[in-house]
Amino acid sequence: MSALTVQRVTKTFGDFTAVSDIDLTVAEDEVLCLLGPSGCGKTTTLRMIAGLESVSQGQILFGGEEVSAKPAQHRNVAMAFQFYALYPDLTVGENLIFPLAAEGLSKAETQERLDGIADTLHLDSVLQRRPHELSEGEKQRVAVGRCIIRRPNAFLFDEPLSRLDVALREDMRGSIRRILATLNRPTVIVTHDQLEAMTMGDRIAVMRDGRIEQVGTPQDVFDHPANTFVAGFIGTPQMSLLDGRCLDAGETQVTVGTDQMRWTLPASRFADMPRTGEAATVGFRPRAASLTPGGLALGGCRLVLSEHMGAEKLLHFDWHGQAVRVLTQDDAPQIDEICTVYLGDAAPHVFDNNGIRLRMKGDRQ
Amino acid sequence: MTSDMHLPPAFTTQRSARGILQWLNAPERRGPLLVAPAILTLFLVNILPLLWSFGLSFFNYRANRQAAPRFDGLDNYGDLLTDDRVWERFVTTGMIVAGSVGLQLIIGFGLALLFAKKFPLRRILLMLVLTPMMLSFVSVGIFFKLFYDPSLGLLSWIVGQFTGEPFAILATPAGAISAIVIADAWMWSPFVMLLVLAGLVSVPDYLYEAAHVDRASGWRRFRTITLPYVKGLILLALLFRTIETFKTFDLVYLITAGGPGSATETVAVYAYRLGFQNFRTSEASALAYLILFVVIVLTSLYLYLVNRRDAEAAS
């Protein structure tokens, strides 16, 4: 089997461009998660790969073979739908083997695959039931089962876990991850949940407004967000992003700051140097900040909200009109109290005037 | 309280009249009081005649004679059920019902499949297609009578173009029955279409998409997705139209008046003849109750299906 390639694909609906000139490659044993807020074009992209939506420009290839013009029936892709799309009049068993009719398998082989799937997904006890008699979790498993019972060119999952409750979702995330590892087919999962994307994907493609903002491994995207959008979108709690300007980009030192604050970083750490006078954004994760003195200090932070998150508290500060978030296990100060937030030794993320990440030495890209 | 003592006696009677009004106007009596006139009217013009005719069906009575009704027990029913003519009328009715309802289902389903798609002028065409069922029976009846007329009718003229002779479809028993079936199907296919269309548009698109991805053939998509969604509605349409067609009187009476001979005489037309042409009032009443019995059986079936559908929708 072979890789799935999306080449310079654009999709327009009338005047609206849903997907704009995207490139993606999914290797045959790889799981790619399309992640992004609603309306970013991720589902449209998936539907174009499935053949349910035509491609306005560009090509989609399965193992080098162009399939852009082929309808869904002729692409041999398996897809699990967000609303499961179980056939209401068929039993669970009939639903599961429904796609096998097109493969012309023998009865014995069909039964063997059905047994295998029912066993993997713990559906043995409900094979005779009809979809309306199933719980949400069972429906979801049938939808996944109907997908993975096949040996298609690609597996496509549209928001597979979005309709499950939290506990079930965590459980299924693990199961699906294990199953996907055995499939050896290019797999694309659409999700708006970054945790899902981080845990299930080998790589993540972050999308916004029909464009791909960054593609990389979960770790990579988290550690080296390509721009301020990805930085703000990936990671909970959200990264604090402070707008300022590059005050001085010298031979040895780079100074970035605002009227209230300045950061000095050794110039030797930058792979891309900022330019003096241009706007710059500095970002740091709430977990990297604390109220314990040490490292760079942000004075004059007014506490506006304190959220309990179990073992930790998320403190929202107002720092001269910009939001600063701190995740701490310490006791929260009083609301409206003025505090100093310390950034410790952690290196901040620096983005240029277009919001593009300035690469540091040692970045993997 | 002391001021009451000074009131003249006339005032106290007025007070009691007002008391009755007040008593009637109490919240718990206001509702029943307001519907009472309607119930009374309904009872007088609907329920009482119904019960009266039911009573009459056990007597020997002719509405055009002065003689007092004579109690006959179940004789009328016995006579009717052993009368070959009555069974013939039931068979005729059954043939018209089967032909017409079958045709309505086929045409209605086909139209629904057509109108479930989007195409230009769809809304205007839909309105036009729905017109027949909104017309009155009398106008449809007269229209078809003219349409079938051997010397003036369009049908005769069209057939004449090929055969060179006028065509009297109503002259043969089979022709007359098909003429009735065509007229009834023309009028009521849109009704079946409306019901089926409601089922078709309720099918979520993603089911068809899933079937495409699963590489199901057109026939398989129809059988596993479309049919289950409209099955219930088709059954309802079938029963509803069966009940209605079973009672057919207007169209038959206007187009063929039961002829030729008694070839298209439905039970409803036969009951009319018995009651108002032969004035065998009590026998006609008994026949009407036999028809009612059949209709009640079909209606119960209909209601059972409606309830089951609701229960399915709720689950």
- Token readout for B313 is 């929708």
**Cβ–Cβ contact A185 with B under 8 A:** no
**Cβ–Cβ contact B225 with A under 8 A:** yes
Residue in this structure with the two tokens 């590892």, named with its chain if needed: A181
* Residue A299 sits in the same domain as residue A169: no
Exposure letters A342-358 (e unless 16+ CB within 10 A, then b)? bbeeeebbbbbeebebb
How many residues are recorded in chain B? 315
Q: How far apart (Å, rounded) are the C-alpha atoms in residues B288 and B290?
A: 5
Probe site for chain B from A89, A94, A100, A132 (most B CB atoms < 10 A): A89
Nearest chain B residue to A150 by CA: give it. Answer: B214
For residue A240, what are the contacts with CB-CB under 8 A and spacing of at least 6? A283, A284, A285, A286, A289, A322, A323, A324, A325
Residues of A in contact with B209 (CB under 8 A): 50, 52, 72, 81, 85
For residue A196, what are the contacts with CB-CB under 8 A and spacing of at least 6? A33, A161, A169, A173, A189
Q: Cis bond leading into B260, ω under 30°?
A: yes
Closest CA to A325 of A343, A349, A311: A343
Least confidently predicted of A8-22, A186-200, B245-259: B245-259
**Mean per-residue pLDDT of chain A:** 88
Per-residue model confidence (pLDDT) at position B5: 52
Closest CA to A4 of A180, A188, A158: A188
Q: How far is B224 from chain A (nearest CA, A)?
A: 7
Nearest chain A residue to B204 by CA: give it. Answer: A85
B214 with A83: Cβ contact below 8 A: no
- From-to residues of CATH 1.10.3720.10 in chain B: 75-314
- Token readout for A343 is 């950034």
**Cβ–Cβ contact B228 with A under 8 A:** yes
Q: Are B147 and B154 in contact (CB under 8 A)?
A: yes
pLDDT(A203) > 90: yes
CATH classification of the domain holding A321: 2.40.50.140
Mention the CATH class of domain B75-314: mainly alpha
A87 with B215: Cβ contact below 8 A: no
* Residue A259 sits in the same domain as residue A326: no
**Cβ–Cβ contact B204 with A under 8 A:** yes
Q: Which segments in chain B show pLDDT lower than 70? A: 1-15, 310, 312-315
* Residue A163 sits in the same domain as residue A179: yes
A87 with B224: Cβ contact below 8 A: yes
Per-residue model confidence (pLDDT) at position B2: 47
Nearest chain A residue to B214 by CA: give it. Answer: A99
* Residue A72 sits in the same domain as residue A181: yes
> What is the per-residue pLDDT across B201-248, written as a single tens digit (0 to 9) for each?
888 889 999 999 999 888 999 988 988 888 888 888 888 898 889 888
Instruction: Find the domain containing A361 and state its range.
Output: 238-283+348-365
Question: Which comes out higher in pLDDT, residue B24 or A44?
Answer: A44
Per-residue model confidence (pLDDT) at position B3: 47
**Cβ–Cβ contact B131 with A under 8 A:** no
B206 with A81: Cβ contact below 8 A: yes
* Residue A104 sits in the same domain as residue A61: yes
Q: Tell me whether residue B108 is exposed, middle or buried, using C-beta atoms within 10 angstroms of its C-beta: 0 to 12, 13 to 18, 19 or more.
A: buried
Q: What is the largest CA-CA distance in chain A?
A: 75
B224 with A89: Cβ contact below 8 A: yes
CA-derived radius of gyration, chain B = 28
**Cβ–Cβ contact B83 with A under 8 A:** no
Q: Among partner residues B207, B213, B315, which is closest to A78 by beta-carbon distance?
A: B213
* Residue A190 sits in the same domain as residue A265: no
Per-residue model confidence (pLDDT) at position A364: 56
* Residue A194 sits in the same domain as residue A139: yes
Single-letter code of the amino acid located at A150: R
CATH classification of the domain holding A267: 2.40.50
A77 with B206: Cβ contact below 8 A: no
CA-derived radius of gyration, chain A = 24
> What is the per-residue pLDDT across A212-270, written as a single tens digit (0 to 9) for each?
999 999 999 999 999 999 999 998 889 999 898 888 888 888 888 888 888 888 888 88
**Cβ–Cβ contact A195 with B under 8 A:** no
Per-residue model confidence (pLDDT) at position A316: 93
Report CA-CA distances (Å) from B271 to A253, B74, B111. 108, 17, 35
Q: Among partner residues B204, B207, B212, which is closest to A52 by beta-carbon distance?
A: B212
Residues of B in contact with A50 (CB under 8 A): 209, 213
B204 with A83: Cβ contact below 8 A: yes
How does residue A187 score in pLDDT terms, banded at 50, 70 and 90?
very high
Three-point CA angle A276, A278, A283, nearest 5°: 105
Per-residue model confidence (pLDDT) at position B147: 92
Per-residue model confidence (pLDDT) at position A142: 92
B213 with A52: Cβ contact below 8 A: yes
**Cβ–Cβ contact A105 with B under 8 A:** no
Q: How far apart (Å, rounded) are the C-alpha atoms in residues A212 and A40?
A: 9
Q: How far is B163 from chain A (nearest CA, A)?
A: 51
* Residue A149 sits in the same domain as residue A38: yes
* Residue A105 sits in the same domain as residue A206: yes
Which residues does residue A187 pair with via DSSP β-bridges, in sequence order?
A31, A155
CATH classification of the domain holding A172: 3.40.50.300
Q: Among partner residues A71, A88, A99, which is closest to B214 by beta-carbon distance?
A: A99
Single-letter code of the amino acid located at B47: I
* Residue A251 sits in the same domain as residue A212: no
Least confidently predicted of A67-71, A341-345, B180-184: A341-345
Q: How far apart (Å, rounded) are the C-alpha atoms in residues A191 and B125?
A: 43
Query: How many domains does chain A divide into?
Result: 3
Q: How far apart (Å, rounded) are the C-alpha atoms in residues A2 and A358?
A: 35
The average pLDDT across A20-34 equals 91
A72 with B224: Cβ contact below 8 A: no
- Token readout for A41 is 């074009």
Q: How far is A157 from chain B (nearest CA, A)?
A: 12
Chain A, chain B: beta-carbon pairs less than 8 Å apart: 61
> What is the per-residue pLDDT across A90-114, written as a single tens digit (0 to 9) for each?
999 999 999 998 888 889 999 999 9
Q: Among partner residues B213, B225, B315, which is closest to A77 by beta-carbon distance?
A: B213
Nearest chain A residue to B223 by CA: give it. Answer: A89
Nearest chain A residue to B207 by CA: give it. Answer: A85
* Residue A277 sits in the same domain as residue A338: no
Residues of B in contact with A82 (CB under 8 A): 206
* Residue A110 sits in the same domain as residue A202: yes
Q: Among partner residues A72, A101, A132, which is closest to B213 by beta-carbon distance?
A: A72
A89 with B210: Cβ contact below 8 A: no
Q: Among partner residues B204, B206, B315, which is closest to A132 by beta-carbon distance?
A: B315
Residues 18-57 of chain A with CB under 8 A from chain B are 50-52
Single-letter code of the amino acid located at A352: D
CA B215, chain centre distance (Å): 43
Tell me the backbone φ, ψ of residue B312, rounded to 5 degrees. Answer: -65, -40
As a whole-number percent, the residues of chain A with pLDDT over 90 amount to 35
- Token readout for A134 is 């199933």
Residues of B in contact with A81 (CB under 8 A): 206, 209-210
Q: Among partner residues B204, B212, B312, which is closest to A73 by beta-carbon distance?
A: B212
